[in-house]
Amino acid sequence: MARMQRTNPWIDTFSRCVGELQYTDRWTLNFNYKLDANLTPLQREGGWKVYTTSSFGRFECPCSNSWSSAHVVVLFHYRLKRHKGTVLLRPFQQRCRDCWNSFERKPIINQTQMQKVLDRLILKICKNCYMEEVPELERNLQYRKTKPHETSLCEACEWGLCRI
């Protein structure tokens, strides 16, 4: 019996986005939950760039609590080397207010928000890897009604990356 290949919406959406570019370089996206926002000198020499952005998303905890957040921080490292582009992705997590579990709650970002995040990343790639002049995207930050952001429960706040 043939095994069904699992897909990831981030990887699928990213592949579709880079497939629409005019360049023939091969790009891949992978998750890395240990990414740091600061590059080492060796990483900089290797051509790595950093991009941090935020999105609206949801979190769900096994204790049955769930919450929305307008402060879901996503960190990317990316580079183009020898016609091979690599993107590493780290979505920052939040702790549950009810049970105070460690940072185990990964964000759930819907397809529309994910597309917006990746569109902004693609513009950075075009600008920094292909030296294109790209327009600055004006972000329409429509704040949805969410509970106040709790910095003590936010992994990105601990790292100093959350823009509240």
Residue 120, in any domain of the structure: yes
pLDDT at 108: 96
Residue 112, in any domain of the structure: yes
pLDDT at 137: 65
Residue 4, in any domain of the structure: no
Give the max Cα distance, the chain.
50
Number of domains in the chain: 1
pLDDT at 86: 98
Residue 163, in any domain of the structure: no
Which domain, by its residues, includes 115? Answer: 9-158
pLDDT at 101: 65
Residue 3, in any domain of the structure: no
pLDDT at 122: 96
Residue 16, in any domain of the structure: yes
Q: Running DSSP on this structure, what letter comes out for residue 13?
A: H
Question: How far is residue 64 from each of residues 67, 89, 97, 99, measured CA to CA in Å?
Answer: 10, 27, 11, 10
Q: What are the DSSP E strand ranges found in 19-163?
A: 26-31, 49-60, 66-81, 84-91
At 37-65, the pLDDT tens digits run: 999 999 999 999 999 999 999 999 988 89
Residues of the chain with pLDDT under 50: 1
Name the phi and psi angles at 145, rounded to 5.
-70, 110
